[in-house]
A = this chain, B = another copy of it.
């Protein structure tokens, strides 16, 4: 006991004198097949091929709209910038061999898991693609499609192609996020030996690289799809499709992205938190060794988890958010323009792509504004990295306001309603302000500078039980302010849109929904920068782990600890941001779903009346889905953690030398156990999310057929979607905030408050932290994805509910 307490307090006893040897677990480096093929090709041929591709893309773009050309150009420029960022990060040194060895082990674990996980996901995606193909092959076509000559097989191919492209892009987004983070982590640790500022800069730029790639790929993917369909289907020529109907063909892309994101988030979330909880329970609580101690057999699994759970999964999550939001806004823009009979509809339809192009530009500026102003060889005193990141964010937000205003004037100006663009610019402002307030509220509830977390820490002093009660009530309470803010912004953006002056043929104002869409875009208009801050978190966390495991001096650990703490806060705030945008986006997707059903059913579908018992039941089932999904996600972590606990205990018993540094723990076994368990456990909640809306929709469609209730299936699914969205928003807010608050309450106590490390209060706080882990990093983020996945699955599968 004495020894353990010493360790907790930093007096590490024999720890410092240990020879610095680490297992070299690195197998041959894994390179995805596509890269292997590309690498075999001569570099000049490759260059020519690339130029050719670019030429084709630009040609198609130019045949579509000059706006598309603009979007392409911006994306390609920022891609080049991102390659610069990547090269800059990779040019940094990997530090001493012991660091590189640990980093190699992490990289192997992460890439191995990624490979297996995405192998499973891609099989499921192919199966689903087949199902979609069959559904579209046997469904009715819409009058628009008949008019434009798109047959059943064509429309099936289009949807499946979009779905697969979305899935592929999401996979690449996840891979890039992980790829850079497993390379940046060791460079950050190495830089931390020199200067805090440099370490911060490397982490930010690495995060920036993947953020730009993720956002850029969402934008360019949709732009290419749009332009290809435009040219291929001969849109806007007589006898073919109208441009305003085009965005509906893109929904497959959004569904593909959210399908992959759901499983990526579930698998990654279960992986990271099972390893974390398992490592902590035996290491910290039972054996009393510090976090990330090399003697803990689960420590590598824990560090791998940060990469697959936070980097890869969050990349896929944000990719899917942006894709879904762009597509739904394009659909709404198209519908509105059609009803307004505007002469030039492209501006309204392509507006979201332009907003995100500017997002790429201004976020890049924000990222580059964080630079190491001092000579990096001088050990500078640690500044507050939060302030530096915040400054970059402020720069980005100010630029966002300016560019957003400019884009609305450029694209949304129409002579029919000369002041409409101003109203929409204000909608965008509403969105930007909402994002800002959301970040602020999340910080208030999860940062230990403020009252709630301090009260939570205080409640730990009367035991584990009161800590949990206080955390749960804090989480439940914290849903109130964000919901009020969302409510105000939905209503005010809708109102601004309605009063924009855009009217349909009979003179009714119709800009409301598009106003809400613009507000969502405003909220996401700094997405790349926010994602950078988010990616920063796990990289800093990993760097800290590497520093700890390679037994660097105290001063280095101090630097990575500060970065890690900041990373925790940015991770929490990003979640607030993600849930806010998910809430708005799914309201848009819901409207798009109603449009889609109306198109297929060839009758108006404007209302979802919850006074009908079946519809009410649909809502009840939708909310239940959220509760069940959250329960399964949490219990998956619990079960997997249990396996880790057993394995770690077994290793400590069977190899008593581990604790005296005389034996090497079997890291690989823990990695393998967590990987296989999390792959197994991700299936159940994932399948629930995908199958249940389909089953419920079909069941009620059949019931409606026998009771003579038209469109019953579609109505019930609509209610399911809405209730699931609302419950999902609240549940995710609850889980994220409670988890973040518990984490920081523990950190607050570890600063020495209320007895500090090792006290009973601290033990109670650790319990809260353990409970919070699956809340905030598995169930909560999976819910963000689930909400949008439900919206896109119902959009794509709409034909089977009719």
Question: Residues on A close to B: CB < 8 A?
Answer: 277, 281, 285, 459, 462-466, 468-470, 472-480, 483-484, 486-487, 490-491, 494-495, 498, 512-513, 516, 587, 590-591, 594, 606-611, 613-614, 616-617, 619-621, 623-624, 627-628, 630-632, 634-635, 637-638, 641-642, 645, 703, 707, 718-719, 722-723, 726-727, 729-730, 734, 766-767, 769-771, 774
Closest B residue by C-beta to A734: B627
CB distance from A716 to the nearest CB of B (A): 10
Cβ B464 vs Cβ A645 within 8 A: no
Cβ B611 vs Cβ A470 within 8 A: no
Cβ A619 vs Cβ B722 within 8 A: yes
Q: Name the one of B473, B610, B613, B614 contacting A608, with C-beta atoms under 8 angstroms.
A: B610
A483 and B724 alpha carbons, distance in the complex (Å): 14
Cβ B627 vs Cβ A476 within 8 A: yes
Q: Name the one of B512, B624, B730 contacting A480, with C-beta atoms under 8 angstroms.
A: B624
A722 and B611 alpha carbons, distance in the complex (Å): 9
Give the 4 A-B CB pairs with smallest separation, nearest first. Answer: A476-B631, A465-B770, A473-B635, A477-B631
Known contacts A476-B631, A479-B627, A627-B734, then 15 further A-B pairs from the complex at CB < 8 Å, ordered by chain A residue: A463-B767, A465-B766, A465-B771, A468-B468, A469-B770, A472-B631, A473-B630, A473-B634, A473-B638, A477-B627, A480-B628, A483-B620, A513-B613, A616-B722, A623-B727
Q: Name the one of B587, B630, B767 contacting A468, with C-beta atoms under 8 angstroms.
A: B767
CB distance from A620 to the nearest CB of B (A): 5
- Of the candidates A285, A478, A619, the one having the most CB atoms from chain B within 10 angstroms of its own CB is A619
Given contacts A469-B770, A477-B631, contact A642 B462 (CB under 8 A): yes
CB distance from A385 to the nearest CB of B (A): 30
Given contacts A490-B613, A609-B609, A613-B587, contact A641 B477 (CB under 8 A): no
Q: Name the one of B469, B729, B767 contacting A465, with C-beta atoms under 8 angstroms.
A: B767
Chain B residues within 8 Å of A608, by CB: 609-611
Cβ B486 vs Cβ A620 within 8 A: yes
Chain B residues within 8 Å of A707, by CB: 495, 498
A774 and B645 alpha carbons, distance in the complex (Å): 30
CB distance from A43 to the nearest CB of B (A): 52
A516 and B611 alpha carbons, distance in the complex (Å): 13
Closest B residue by C-beta to A649: B462
Cβ B767 vs Cβ A631 within 8 A: no
Given contacts A480-B624, A642-B462, A767-B463, contact A719 B617 (CB under 8 A): no
Given contacts A476-B627, A617-B487, contact A642 B516 (CB under 8 A): no
A627 and B465 alpha carbons, distance in the complex (Å): 20
A469 and B616 alpha carbons, distance in the complex (Å): 31
Given contacts A462-B645, A627-B734, A634-B469, contact A491 B281 (CB under 8 A): no
Given contacts A516-B613, A617-B491, A620-B729, contact A281 B463 (CB under 8 A): yes
A607 and B619 alpha carbons, distance in the complex (Å): 15
Q: Name the one of B611, B623, B632 contacting A594, with C-beta atoms under 8 angstroms.
A: B611
Cβ B473 vs Cβ A620 within 8 A: no
Chain B residues within 8 Å of A484, by CB: 621, 624
CB distance from A515 to the nearest CB of B (A): 9
Cβ B723 vs Cβ A726 within 8 A: yes
Cβ B464 vs Cβ A464 within 8 A: yes
A630 and B474 alpha carbons, distance in the complex (Å): 10
Cβ A627 vs Cβ B730 within 8 A: yes
**Total identical chains:** 2
A141 and B632 alpha carbons, distance in the complex (Å): 52
Cβ A642 vs Cβ B459 within 8 A: yes
Closest B residue by C-beta to A477: B631
A609 and B228 alpha carbons, distance in the complex (Å): 38
A591 and B616 alpha carbons, distance in the complex (Å): 12
Chain B residues within 8 Å of A645, by CB: 462, 466
Chain B residues within 8 Å of A642, by CB: 459, 462, 466
Cβ B767 vs Cβ A490 within 8 A: no
CB distance from A626 to the nearest CB of B (A): 8
Given contacts A613-B491, A723-B723, contact A475 B631 (CB under 8 A): yes
Chain B residues within 8 Å of A277, by CB: 465-466, 469
Cβ B469 vs Cβ A638 within 8 A: yes
Closest B residue by C-beta to A594: B611
Q: Name the one of B463, B486, B617 contacting A285, with C-beta atoms under 8 angstroms.
A: B463
Q: Name the one of B462, B512, B587, B774 contacting A281, with C-beta atoms under 8 angstroms.
A: B462
CB distance from A571 to the nearest CB of B (A): 20
Chain B residues within 8 Å of A606, by CB: 609, 611
CB distance from A265 to the nearest CB of B (A): 17
Given contacts A771-B469, A771-B472, contact A490 B726 (CB under 8 A): no
Given contacts A469-B770, A620-B729, A727-B730, contact A611 B591 (CB under 8 A): yes
A-B residue pairs in contact (CB < 8 Å), sample of 13: A281-B465, A281-B466, A285-B463, A466-B642, A469-B634, A469-B635, A469-B637, A494-B614, A591-B611, A608-B610, A619-B723, A620-B726, A726-B727
Closest B residue by C-beta to A767: B464
CB distance from A466 to the nearest CB of B (A): 6
A630 and B473 alpha carbons, distance in the complex (Å): 7
A407 and B77 alpha carbons, distance in the complex (Å): 79
CB distance from A647 to the nearest CB of B (A): 12
A42 and B767 alpha carbons, distance in the complex (Å): 65
Chain B residues within 8 Å of A619, by CB: 722-723, 726
Cβ A590 vs Cβ B613 within 8 A: no
Given contacts A620-B486, A628-B477, A770-B469, contact A459 B638 (CB under 8 A): yes
A459 and B774 alpha carbons, distance in the complex (Å): 15
Cβ A631 vs Cβ B473 within 8 A: yes
Chain B residues within 8 Å of A630, by CB: 473, 476
Q: Name the one of B463, B476, B621 contacting A628, with C-beta atoms under 8 angstroms.
A: B476
Cβ B624 vs Cβ A611 within 8 A: no
Closest B residue by C-beta to A642: B462
Chain B residues within 8 Å of A635, by CB: 469-470, 473-474, 477
Chain B residues within 8 Å of A634, by CB: 469, 472-473, 476
Chain B residues within 8 Å of A477, by CB: 627-628, 631-632, 635
Closest B residue by C-beta to A607: B609
A473 and B734 alpha carbons, distance in the complex (Å): 14
Chain B residues within 8 Å of A638, by CB: 459, 466, 469-470, 473
Closest B residue by C-beta to A459: B638
Closest B residue by C-beta to A624: B483
Chain B residues within 8 Å of A624, by CB: 479-480, 483-484, 730
Cβ B490 vs Cβ A616 within 8 A: yes
Chain B residues within 8 Å of A491, by CB: 613-614, 617, 703
A727 and B626 alpha carbons, distance in the complex (Å): 11
Cβ B610 vs Cβ A722 within 8 A: yes
Chain B residues within 8 Å of A470, by CB: 635, 638
Chain B residues within 8 Å of A627, by CB: 476-477, 479-480, 730, 734
Cβ B610 vs Cβ A610 within 8 A: yes
